[in-house]
Amino acid sequence: MDRKKTVLISGGAGYIGSHTSVELIEAGYDVVIVDNFSNSEKGAVEGVVKITGREVPFELVDTCDKDALRRIFEKYEFDSVIHFAAYKAVGESMEDPLKYYSNNLVSFLNIVALMKEFKRPNILFSSSATVYGEADELPVTEETPRQPATSPYGNTKQMAEDILRDCCRSYVDIYGIALRYFNPIGAHPSAMIGELPRGIPNNLVPFVTQTAAGIRECLSVFGNDYDTPDGTCLRDYIDVVDLAKAHLAAVNRMVSDKMDGKYEIFNVGTGNPVSVLELLTTFEDVNNLKLPYKIVDRRPGDVTAVWADTAKANEVLGWKAERTLGETLKSAWEWEKRVRGL
Ligand code: NAD
Ligand code: WQD
């Protein structure tokens, strides 16, 4: 394995990690996936193998277990790490903050400490648009001030960004890129991998596809009295394959020593605000079905609107979202149908 062309992917069995593994392998990288299956299954790794036709080294490791993680650093030579491994349910993080601070921060600190110890220079960190909160200006650029976090989950992202910035500043051998994802949706066009939430989905699109599949009776639209054109919230829904390609562009930038300084941040979105009702209508149109839904009260904690200014990623990474919302929502439904055997 060429060290420069090998990437350790923590949380690589997860939704975004599995799609990113595929894009990296198809671009000629070797990946090593580390995951503890706390929110994923081995079927995702099998999906990556099926799509790419390549064997993928997989290690069942909890990244909070530093000794076990150290053995991975001893076993494999790699220059770059993409750190996805984290819990991501905002509501659960309010009920059990320690679960989130422990997992998300300890795993992150272990990764960075071992990178420093083993002189593995490049880390790509999964941050989130949640750091912007209810922003003062829209669309948000990377310079838009972050708002105080409204959940322990969001706080772990802000804290990890700050820790990474400080480590890049102080340690000569650490280079970091934080990608702030907006709302990732959809699935791989092969329908071999996709999002597989456990229990009742928190996010809109899995709830939509499960409702279409008859698993949920009716979709609740959380509020239609927002100050937006149709009264429902606006978000920037980014296709998961496009998102995976942004990781590829960022890794390419790191391994070819093209970074501007030691720590960079990029928004990863489409730049297009889409309302909840627009998303539902598009889902119905492209998949030729009707979705039962009702308007209910606002969900506490939801911001009215957030979408990305993507100029920096477009210009500096040479990356742009390509799939249309319709294509993405079609892929989400194809995936749901395959999972449910419909
Ligand atoms: P996911 O839950 O599908 O993937 C995370 C993976 O990490 C899972 O496979 C899980 O089993 C694994 N994991 C968690 N803790 C671990 C640990 N201690 N050791 C080993 N493996 C562990 O989530 P995702 O949607 O693919 O998100 C990936 C990353 O992107 C997360 O950091 C998340 O916070 C961030 N993010 C996600 C979204 C989103 O809406 N999906 C948006 C912004 C940022
Ligand atoms: C989208 C829109 C809801 C479900 C979350 C996290 C964020 C990031 C991405 C990780 C909102 C509405 C939803 C439903 C609905 N994750 N909705 N009925 O809240 O924008 O972002 O995921 O970093 O941190 O907060 O995404 O998919 O939950 O909601 O009407 O059943 O859909 O009100 O307007 P959100 P979401």
- Quick: pLDDT tens for 119-154: 999 999 999 999 999 999 999 999 999 999 999 999
Residue 285 CA, chain-centre distance (Å), reads 26
CA of 207 to the centre of ligand 1 (A): 18
* The pLDDT value given to residue 212: 98
Q: Which residues pair with 237 in a beta bridge?
A: 183
> What distance in Å separates the CA atoms of residue 292 and residue 334, rounded to the nearest whole number?
19
> What distance in Å separates the CA atoms of residue 165 and residue 176, rounded to the nearest whole number?
7
Which of 177, 169, 160, 191 has the alpha carbon at shortest distance from 267?
Answer: 177
| Cα 339 to Cα 35, 212, 325, 332, 336, distances in angstroms | 21, 13, 21, 11, 5
Q: Is the CB of 190 under 6 A from ligand 1?
A: no
Residue-averaged pLDDT of the chain: 97
Of all protein residues, the one whose alpha carbon is nearest to atom 28 of ligand 1 is 84
Q: Is the CB of 128 under 6 A from ligand 1?
A: yes
CA of 203 to the centre of ligand 2 (A): 5
CA of 90 to the centre of ligand 2 (A): 9
> What distance in Å separates the CA atoms of residue 301 and residue 91, rounded to the nearest whole number?
9
Q: Is the CB of 102 under 6 A from ligand 1?
A: no
Q: Is the CB of 88 under 6 A from ligand 2?
A: yes
Ligand 1 mutation pick, 69, 88, 105, max ligand atoms within 8 A of CB: 88
User: Is 195 in contact with 280 (CB distance < 8 Å)?
Assistant: no
Amino acid at 263: Y
Which tens digits make up the pLDDT trace of 240-286? 999 999 999 999 999 998 999 999 999 999 999 999 999 999 999 99
> What distance in Å separates the CA atoms of residue 174 and residue 115, rounded to the nearest whole number?
8
pLDDT category of residue 1 using cuts at 50, 70 and 90: confident
263 flagged as catalytic:
no
* The pLDDT value given to residue 301: 92
